[in-house]
């Protein structure tokens, strides 16, 4: 007890750190409030501005959020310029957890780590990933964005300045609780450069901070409806006939197919790329795309940005390429508007005009062994390092804006992203392919304004096939990428029915999911998101280890154990994927009653439950009062006014505003969308009652609404 009190006193003293004003040799940052809950500070000069490749803030939506106060004292944030680096220092309280920093595949809380935020293949040092984002969110309810295209090196509660308040050192030989990482009172970060631009976002909850950041970057993307269907990428060497055969096989096996992706082999030359159709495998691209369109299938084209000498756009792009080649192809400098035009003209004429729906932009991330060196030069004069950092973001913006001008929504894939990606119509993917890490990435993506797909490529067993399929069905982009494997959804015949059922469930959930994306678009709420953004969730961490071992743990480091394998989809569904070999798993439930999605049974309330797994199902749980509008039947999907099956879980009253629109244009931005209010009220007898009401524009509303009371004895109410 006495120990506890001393510890408490110690922590109270430490709390003081966060507002310290002792720092010498640094300048105080000057913050300017630029909108409700958004502050800006800058010093020196910056290079390429990443926010210029994002969308403008949704100011009205930002204003609707709570205007929480600036999270620090004005005296406690610092900047410093040395001949080599521009650095900042932001206070950090002893209990704060720090999330974000981009598409990370391990853990959630970044505190205690040093991250070198570099766009790269995932791996190597911390912070090398496809979409490192110099934006972090504190559990205390604020976020910090370092808006730079230079590589940020960030020390998240690591290290202590000698002029800061800090703990007393402990003698390792005789003292107790010696740590290789003494508690630190700050986040410090720096870049090689002459200045920085910073933003602080606040909110009453961590979710609100994320919402505000997303809205500041233009809100979330609303994909075309087809983008939320089933995607299949062909083997790279496939020809027109192979594709037509595959489509026929999909029908035969009764699998949906919404988007067909072509890999390098669609091009006459690839790695580097010609961007031109291969006349042997695709002799008549126009007819090919049309045939697919007639089957209700969109075409998505793979490419990397490196231009082969035999490309029809080579001559025109050549004046705008950098000093070094990638796979012997030239590297366009797309910070130059003329270069963008060359790309867009070529792609419009050869792909978009004949109906191609979008792209998969590969190889915009890394490795150093493939891409241009840090010392490469580009005709714009922009630094090679900065161009690399924003290349993925830039190409998303160029294509996204181009199609928007044509009032066409797109949805595609990209292997690198960066700041302000929430409004970009692209989903990130990777070669990393560790299933558990892929789920962690899905969780983390929501903390950095990113969308991520744990696409399936292959599996070592039927069980793994199912488990990976289930995860991808509950992700922003449901794709089988068979570019190398040539796999089909039915590649493991013994589980084909299970795979089909899981895909069907995702397809049936389209009304619910599409509305989740609309809320992403309008309110910045990530459709798939980390549990820590859910109110009532207690983000527990456990520290294990810390025992000295001269071979394996010479620094007596503790390992942080976190729950990284569950997440929220839309307003009410908790997804708890299962990994190969797991016969049971733990699920941490936020406070309030939670119900099994499949049975409606009450499973727990604010507790950690252990469930037995079933191969057929991915565990899904719905919060009390959860309203889940689903397509009533597979056939319903195609019809003009599909019927709905609206499920309700638990005992609470609730309202769900179901969104719908034409599914492919930007007309919704002018109010051309439908909202169907689904309202559950409790009668005097305590019985739940469901009502539906069109509250905006009936054009895109649904047909018959059938209520299902999942947690009642009689499931079929009215």
Residues 224-253 that bind its own copies (CB under 8 A): 236-237
Q: How far apart are the first and last CA of the chain?
A: 57
- At 688 the three-state DSSP class reads strand
The one among 44, 56, 373, 545 contacting its own copies by CB under 8 A: 373
90 vs 532, which CB is nearer to its own copies? 90
Task: Give 27-74 as a 3 state SS string.
Answer: EECCCEEEECCEEEEEEECCCCCHHHHCCCCCHHHHHHCCCCCCCCCH
Given 265, 400, 511, 577, the residue binding its own copies (CB under 8 A): 265
CB 679 to its own copies: min, Å: 48
DSSP 194-208: SEEEEEEEE-SSHHH
Q: Which is nearer to its own copies, 429 or 512 (CB)?
A: 429
Q: Which two tokens stand for residue 340?
A: 């963008």
Residue 381's region, left for phi above 0, alpha for psi from -120 to 50, else beta, is left
Per CB under 8 A, contacts with its own copies among 2-61 are 25
420-459 residues near its own copies, rule: CB under 8 A: 431, 433, 457-458
The reply to whether 197 sits near its own copies by the rule CB under 8 A is no
Q: Which is nearer to its own copies, 427 or 510 (CB)?
A: 427
| Residue among 155 and 707 whose Cβ is closer to its own copies | 155
Q: How far apart are CA 289 and CA 641, in angstroms?
A: 27
CA angle in degrees (0–180, nearest 5) for 648-649-653: 70
Give me the phi and psi of 498, to 5 degrees please. Answer: -65, -45
Residues facing residue 156 across a β-bridge:
187
Enter the DSSP assignment of 273. B
Using CB under 8 A, count the residues that bind its own copies. Answer: 83
Q: Which of the residues 605 through 664 are near its own copies (CB under 8 A)?
A: none
Based on the shown chain and the rule CB under 8 A, indicate whether residue 171 belongs to the binding site for its own copies.
yes
**Binding of residue 148 to its own copies (CB under 8 A):** no
Site string for its own copies, 77-96 (x = CB under 8 A): ---x-xxxx-x---------
Instruction: Give dist(CA 678, CA 414) in Å, integer.
Output: 36
Residue 100 in contact with its own copies, rule: CB under 8 A: no
* Cα within 13 Å of Cα(568), Cβ side: 26
Stretch that binds its own copies, among 13-21, 124-132, 596-604, 694-702 (CB under 8 A): 124-132
Phi, then psi, of 385 in degrees rounded to 5? -65, -40
Q: Under rule CB under 8 A, which residues in 527-586 are in contact with its own copies?
A: 548-551, 554-555
- For the bound state, the minimum distance from the C-beta of residue 57 to its own copies, rounded and expressed in Å, comes to 30
Residue 683: strand, helix, or coil: coil
128 lines the binding site for its own copies (CB under 8 A): yes
Give me the least distance between CB of 425 and its own copies, in Å please: 25
Residue 406 token pair: 């044509």
Q: Which CB sits closer to its own copies, 294 or 369?
A: 369
Task: Using CB atoms within 10 Å of the CB of residue 227, give its burial: 0 to 12 exposed, 13 to 18 middle, 19+ buried.
Answer: buried
Q: Which one of residues 197, 278, 596, 661 is an interface residue with its own copies (CB under 8 A)? A: 278
Subset of residues 305 to 364 that bind its own copies, contact rule: CB under 8 A:
308-309, 321-325, 327-330
Helix (H, G, I), strand (E, B), or coil: what is residue 437?
A: helix
Nearer to its own copies, 331 or 395 (CB): 331
Q: Is 484 among the residues that bind its own copies (CB under 8 A)?
A: yes
Give whichever of 72 and 155 is closer to its own copies, judged by the CB atom: 155
């Amino acid at each position: 007890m006495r120990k506890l009190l001393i510890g408490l006193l110690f922590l109270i003293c430490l709390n003081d750190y966060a507002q310290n004003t002792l720092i010498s040799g640094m300048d105080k940052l000057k913050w300017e409030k630029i909108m409700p809950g958004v502050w800006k500070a800058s010093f020196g000069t910056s290079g390429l501005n990443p926010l210029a490749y994002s969308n403008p803030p949704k100011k009205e939506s930002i204003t609707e959020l709570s205007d929480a106060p600036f999270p620090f004292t004005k005296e406690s944030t610092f900047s410093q310029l040395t001949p080599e680096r521009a650095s900042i220092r932001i206070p950090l309280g002893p209990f704060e957890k720090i999330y974000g920093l981009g598409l990370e595949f391990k853990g959630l809380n970044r505190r205690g780590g040093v991250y070198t935020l570099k766009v790269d293949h995932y791996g190597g040092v911390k912070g090398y990933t496809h979409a490192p984002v110099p934006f972090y969110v504190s559990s205390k309810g604020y976020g910090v964005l370092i808006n730079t295209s230079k590589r940020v090196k960030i020390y998240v509660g690591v290290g202590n300045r000698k002029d800061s308040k800090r703990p007393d050192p402990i003698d390792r030989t005789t003292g107790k609780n010696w740590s290789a990482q003494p508690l630190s009172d700050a986040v410090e970060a720096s870049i090689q450069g002459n200045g920085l631009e910073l933003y602080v976002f606040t909110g009453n909850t961590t979710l609100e901070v994320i919402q505000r950041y997303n809205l500041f970057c233009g809100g979330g993307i609303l994909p075309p409806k087809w983008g939320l269907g089933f995607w299949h990428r062909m083997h790279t060497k496939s020809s027109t006939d192979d594709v037509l055969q595959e489509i026929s096989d999909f029908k035969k096996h009764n699998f949906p197919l919404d988007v067909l992706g072509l890999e390098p082999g669609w091009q006459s030359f690839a790695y580097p790329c010609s961007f031109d159709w291969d006349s042997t495998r695709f002799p008549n691209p126009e007819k090919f795309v049309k045939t697919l369109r007639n089957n209700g299938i969109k075409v998505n084209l793979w490419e990397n940005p490196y231009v082969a000498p035999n490309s029809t756009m080579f001559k025109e792009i050549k004046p705008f390429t950098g000093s070094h080649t990638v796979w012997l192809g030239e590297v366009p400098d797309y910070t130059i508007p003329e270069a963008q035009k060359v790309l867009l003209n070529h792609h419009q004429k050869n792909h978009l005009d004949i109906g191609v729906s979008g792209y998969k932009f590969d190889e915009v991330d890394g490795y150093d062994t493939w891409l241009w060196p840090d010392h490469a030069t580009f005709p714009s004069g922009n630094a090679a390092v900065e161009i690399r950092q924003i290349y993925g973001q830039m190409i998303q913006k160029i294509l996204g804006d181009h199609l928007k001008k044509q009032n066409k929504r797109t949805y595609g894939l990209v292997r690198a992203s960066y700041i302000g990606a929430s409004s970009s119509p692209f989903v990130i993917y990777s070669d990393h392919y560790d299933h558990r890490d892929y789920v962690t990435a899905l969780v983390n993506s929501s903390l950095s304004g990113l969308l991520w797909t744990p696409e399936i490529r292959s599996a070592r067993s039927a069980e793994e096939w199912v488990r990976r399929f289930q995860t991808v069905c509950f992700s922003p982009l449901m794709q089988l990428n068979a570019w190398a494997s040539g796999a089909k959804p039915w590649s493991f015949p013994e589980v084909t029915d299970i795979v089909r059922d899981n895909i069907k469930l995702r397809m049936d959930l389209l009304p619910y999911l599409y509305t989740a994306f609309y809320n992403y678009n309008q309110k910045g709420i990530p459709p798939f998101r980390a549990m820590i953004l859910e109110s009532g969730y207690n983000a527990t961490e456990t520290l294990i280890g810390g025992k000295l071992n001269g071979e394996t743990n010479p620094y007596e480091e503790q390992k942080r154990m976190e729950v990284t394998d569950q997440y929220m989809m839309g307003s009410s569904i908790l997804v708890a994927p299962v990994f190969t070999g797991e016969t049971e798993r733990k699920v941490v439930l936020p406070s309030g009653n939670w119900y099994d999605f499949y049975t409606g049974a009450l499973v727990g309330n604010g507790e950690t439950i252990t469930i037995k797994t079933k191969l057929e199902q991915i565990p899904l749980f719905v919060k009390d009062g959860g309203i889940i509008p689903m397509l009533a039947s597979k056939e319903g999907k195609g019809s003009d006014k599909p019927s709905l099956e609206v499920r309700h879980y638990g005992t609470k009253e609730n309202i769900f505003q179901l969104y719908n629109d034409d599914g492919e244009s930007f007309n919704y931005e002018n109010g051309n969308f439908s909202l169907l209010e689904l309202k559950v009220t409790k009668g005097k007898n305590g019985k739940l009652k469901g009502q539906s009401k069109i509250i905006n524009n009936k054009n895109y509303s649904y047909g018959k609404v059938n209520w299902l009371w999942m947690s009642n004895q009689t499931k079929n109410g009215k």
